[in-house]
Amino acid sequence: MRLSNGQAKPGIGGGICQLANLLHWMVLHSPLTVTQRSTHSFDPFPDNGRVLPWGVGCSIVYNYVDLQFRNDTDQTFQLRVGVGERYLEGEILAEQPPRSSYRVFARNERFLRAGTQHYRRNEIWRTTIDRRTGSPTSTDLIRENVALVKYLPTNTTIHDITPSQLAT
């Protein structure tokens, strides 16, 4: 599926965002630093079968929108990706065992209605955990997301707001 101009439709290039989603998810679980990332402007599908939290995906459009990250550590990393029987697969290899592990999760999930339009809002957080002690060392806000929803949210509370409240 290709997401374009507010619609999900079959087309060439639709899988590149899935690859970017995997790379972003891998980087969030490493000490690498995301420097550029764009999200899709809308949420095309309900959560049925969703594997990752909504809001960690990436939008990639050739020569316009990218996913970029950098290595601020003194260690070398190798990112490996491939196509499994059913899913894209990936791993990060490093010269030494990592000092930390990471847990990425969503908070404050909510659906909003402004007039006849529905929106989804959440926050993506990451907890860094010392692998030696198992203790969290920090929990950081990664991103706040808001997007137009292209389906009718069901089995959830919908909060009515004014269009001007979307920006806050």
Q: How confident is the model at residue 9 (pLDDT cuts 50, 70, 90)?
A: low
DSSP conformation class of 155: S
Residue 121 C-alpha from the chain's centroid: 13
| pLDDT the model gives residue 75 | 94
What is the spatial distance between Cα 84 and Cα 20, in angstroms, rounded to a whole number? 16
Per-residue model confidence as pLDDT tens digits over 73-89: 999 999 999 999 988 89
Average pLDDT, integer, range 66-78: 95
| pLDDT the model gives residue 12 | 64
Task: Report the number of distinct structural domains present in the chain.
Answer: 1
Per-residue model confidence as pLDDT tens digits over 20-61: 999 999 999 999 999 999 888 888 888 888 888 999 998 888
Average pLDDT, integer, range 145-162: 90
| Residues 6+ positions from 74 with CB-CB distance below 8 Å | none
Average pLDDT, integer, range 125-133: 97
| pLDDT the model gives residue 20 | 92
| pLDDT the model gives residue 2 | 63
| pLDDT the model gives residue 68 | 95
Domain containing 71 equals 2-167
**At which residue do the structure tokens 């001007």 appear?**
164
Using the CB atoms, write b or e for 57-87: b if 16+ within 10 Å: bbbbeeeebebebeeeeeeebeeeeeeeeee
Give this prediction's pTM: 0.87
User: Pick the residue with more confidence: 14 or 42?
Assistant: 42
Average pLDDT, integer, range 140-168: 89
| pLDDT the model gives residue 41 | 81
| pLDDT the model gives residue 11 | 66
CB 67 within 8 A of CB 24: yes
